[in-house]
Amino acid sequence: MSKINFRIRSKANKQVSIYMFLRSPGSVQLEIRTGYQTHPKEWQSGYQKSSIDNTLNNDLTDLRAFISKRLNNSVLAGETINMGWLRKALDEHFNRTEKKEYEYLLNFYEAFLSKIKKEQKPNTVKGYVTFYYTLKKYQEDIEDRLLFSQLNKDAFDDLYSWMLHKMDYALGNANRQMSRLKTICRAAAASEIEVHGYYLVHKQKKTTPHNSYLTIISEQEIGLIKTFNPTTSYLENTRAWMLIGLHIGQRVSDLLSLTPKDVRETQPGVVMVDITQQKTGTSITIPVVDKITVDILLNKFPRKISSQSFNRFLKELCRACKIDSETTGFLMGDNGRKNLVTGPKYQFISSHDLRRSFCTNHFYAGTPSSKIMAISGHKRESTFFGYVGATQSKDEAAENFLKYLQK
């Protein structure tokens, strides 16, 4: 005996999708969005209908009758009843013609990936490739294909919830994936593909920002690093790279790519470090005047080291330097996700904190944000303030600038 029923999957205070689920003899249960919506307060689960919308109820009755007749004919003809069959039957009921290839999200996505592989940096492409397989997995789970024209608020929310609760994504990661979805939608719309307009108004969910738990190496702690005398060559090498990083404020990929050829002395006690930033392609020059760091750059340039080894040795070096004040922050747990914990500061220090400390220490010493951003490569002041954990009032901005003027 075949069963064709309707249900909603959300109790949110909004219009939600109505799903049809079908079980035919010898077939697994199939479920698909009908395209109809209702408010949970108006939905009578026991009767599978709206309490107030008779037009909707008649439409659902017609749909059930059509699918039932189509199912009986297909069973007699020996056809396989699967999601492909159900999707086709639903299209027949609504007199929908076969969709163009690129109106399906993943079909367009494949072409999109081919294009950005030629235009974007490897890390950007890697993120979009990962999201492609996330969407592919999602489609397998819901046993349906995503159409641009159906990416309404309900569809966005369903994907977001699936990533958080089924795939156990961290909040920040889920938000990054949704941002990529919006980019895909914009690209599709630019290619004159019909895209539901919700992507234009979708806003990211607020997260508990990691910036609430910044790990900053203070000027006093930098002093501890300067006076420390390592007894092993690998910690001496790590110390050299760490001091350079704290005084040039660059990403670890740019820091560890430095060579002596990138350093030039312009006057006694002053060196210039020339860098072309790998992420942005921007060429910048950073002045360094700290005596110990200048000596390292000119006379004791450190050996090459991998970023993985550098991060590991940084913690060991900071522990030896007694940078161990109680700190709260995020550490990777056994579950592969970052967990909020409290412990000695050296546990939380990574190579990226050198760049953040450079920006933060200069900012709170009164250097105007525009001057720091010219070195760090930040393009937006709002991004920079979030990076250093600052929320400035006009008076605070004036006070910081005054510090800079009075130096």
Together in a domain, 187 and 227: no
Together in a domain, 192 and 220: no
What pLDDT is recorded for position 303?
Answer: 96
Given a cut of 80, whether residue 245 has pLDDT beyond it is: yes
pLDDT tens-digit readout, 31-58: 888 989 999 999 998 899 999 999 999 9
Together in a domain, 358 and 218: yes
What is the mean pLDDT of the segment spanning 15-23?
89
Residue at token pair 């550098």: 310
Together in a domain, 170 and 244: no
Identify whether 21 is part of a domain.
Answer: yes
Identify whether 386 is part of a domain.
Answer: no
Closest CA to 315 of 303, 327, 304: 327
- pLDDT band at 67, cuts 50/70/90? very high
Together in a domain, 107 and 256: no
Q: Which of 207, 236, 253 is the last residue of a domain?
A: 207
What pLDDT is recorded for position 210?
Answer: 44
- pLDDT band at 99, cuts 50/70/90? low
pLDDT tens-digit readout, 347-357: 999 999 999 99
What pLDDT is recorded for position 388?
Answer: 79
What pLDDT is recorded for position 282?
Answer: 87
CA distances 257 to 134, 226, 253, 265, 277, Å, are 33, 22, 6, 19, 10
Together in a domain, 232 and 350: yes
Alpha-carbon distance of 33 to 375, in angstroms, equals 52
Looking at residue 343, its amino acid is: G
Looking at residue 338, its amino acid is: K
Alpha-carbon distance of 185 to 197, in angstroms, equals 9
Domain at 185, CATH number = 1.10.150
What is the mean pLDDT of the segment spanning 365-390?
82
Identify whether 392 is part of a domain.
Answer: no
> DSSP states of 326-347 as a string?
EEEEEEE-TTSSEEEEEEEGGG
pLDDT tens-digit readout, 81-94: 888 888 888 888 88
Together in a domain, 143 and 235: no
Together in a domain, 200 and 119: yes
pLDDT tens-digit readout, 166-218: 887 877 888 899 999 999 999 999 988 999 999 999 887 665 444 467 889 99
* Both tokens assigned to 50: 């709206």
Count of structural domains, the chain: 3
Together in a domain, 225 and 187: no
Alpha-carbon distance of 324 to 221, in angstroms, equals 10
What pLDDT is recorded for position 383?
Answer: 74
Together in a domain, 375 and 243: yes
Sheet holding 283-288, edge to edge: 263-267, 270-276, 283-288
Q: Alpha helix locations (H) across 53-201? A: 54-76, 83-93, 105-119, 122-142, 153-161, 171-190
Together in a domain, 196 and 266: no
Residue 295: domain span:
212-380
- Phi first, then psi: give them for residue 258, nearest 5 degrees: -60, 145
Mean predicted lDDT score pLDDT of the chain? 87
What count of other Cβ atoms lies within 10 Å of the Cβ of residue 353? 23
What count of other Cβ atoms lies within 10 Å of the Cβ of residue 63? 21
Alpha-carbon distance of 97 to 50, in angstroms, equals 29
Residues 6+ apart with CB under 8 A from 356: 214, 215, 216, 387, 388
What count of other Cβ atoms lies within 10 Å of the Cβ of residue 380? 10
Alpha-carbon distance of 123 to 157, in angstroms, equals 27
Given a cut of 80, whether residue 396 has pLDDT beyond it is: no
Identify whether 397 is part of a domain.
Answer: no
Together in a domain, 182 and 251: no
* Cα Rg of the chain (Å, integer): 29
User: 210, 330 in Cβ contact below 8 A?
Assistant: yes
- Phi first, then psi: give them for residue 86, nearest 5 degrees: -65, -40
Closest CA to 298 of 255, 269, 257: 269
Q: Which of 207, 239, 265 is the last residue of a domain?
A: 207
Identify whether 391 is part of a domain.
Answer: no
Identify whether 394 is part of a domain.
Answer: no
Identify whether 281 is part of a domain.
Answer: yes
Identify whether 327 is part of a domain.
Answer: yes
Given a cut of 60, whether residue 75 has pLDDT beyond it is: yes
Helix (H) or strand (E) holding 215: none
What pLDDT is recorded for position 368?
Answer: 87
Helices then strands, each counted (H, E), the chain: 15, 10
- Phi first, then psi: give them for residue 136, nearest 5 degrees: -65, -40
pLDDT tens-digit readout, 281-323: 889 999 999 999 999 999 999 999 999 999 999 999 999 999 9
Closest CA to 243 of 300, 170, 195: 300
Q: Which of 207, 231, 250 is the last residue of a domain?
A: 207
Domain at 258, CATH number = 1.10.443.10
